[in-house]
Structure 1
Amino acid sequence: MFQVNELEQKLNEENSKRFALEVQVNKMRYELQEKFHLERELANLQTHMEKEFVSRHELETLRCSYEAALSHAKKEAEMMARDTLNKKIYHINSFIDKQPA
């Protein structure tokens, strides 16, 4: 009878240990899955950053090109406005010159 009780106690202890180990294994499995998920997400973010990244030098070059094009367009617009005004002044002066004194 003593051996049966002792064996039952050992069995209960072993079952408790097994249950604790199963809980620990499940926890570790979940943590591992979470780690893999985070590693995939990190890899995706790194890939996205590599594709979308623009260096400071590229931005500066683009800004300089934009400013140069804007300056050129501004000069052309000013020249066209000046030419238009000069033509109008010429026509007005011609009209005035044709008027009797």
Structure 2
Amino acid sequence: MTLFDTLNGALMTHASAWAFDNPAARRTTLLITGRSGGVALVIGAVTLAQWAGDHFPAAALPALRHVDLFPVGFGLTGLAAALFVGAQYWARREAPDAAR
């Protein structure tokens, strides 16, 4: 998970630099940042539910007790990469001379 978190951070750094150079790409950066914030909230909620299930068995949701978050890192990194590649394609299609 640490490796993919690092890759996600590197991708976000590149996306932010791209948005800084290209003001039209700021909406893409907002989309990717929003995705990161939403994912952080979901992972935090699942982790909290798992902790509550370990310490307060009656308070936890049984479906969340055995969720493995390790594969989620692969999916999130793939989603971030797909969003970034799609944004690059979209920006080049909208303004061929300005996005390069």
Whether TM-score is above 0.5 comes out as no
Which has the larger Rg? 1
Name whichever structure is richer in helix by fraction.
1
* TM-score of the pair, normalised by structure 2: 0.34
* TM-score of the pair, normalised by structure 1: 0.34
Comparing both chains, which one has the higher relative contact order based on Cα–Cα distances under 8 Å and sequence gaps of 6 or more?
Answer: 2
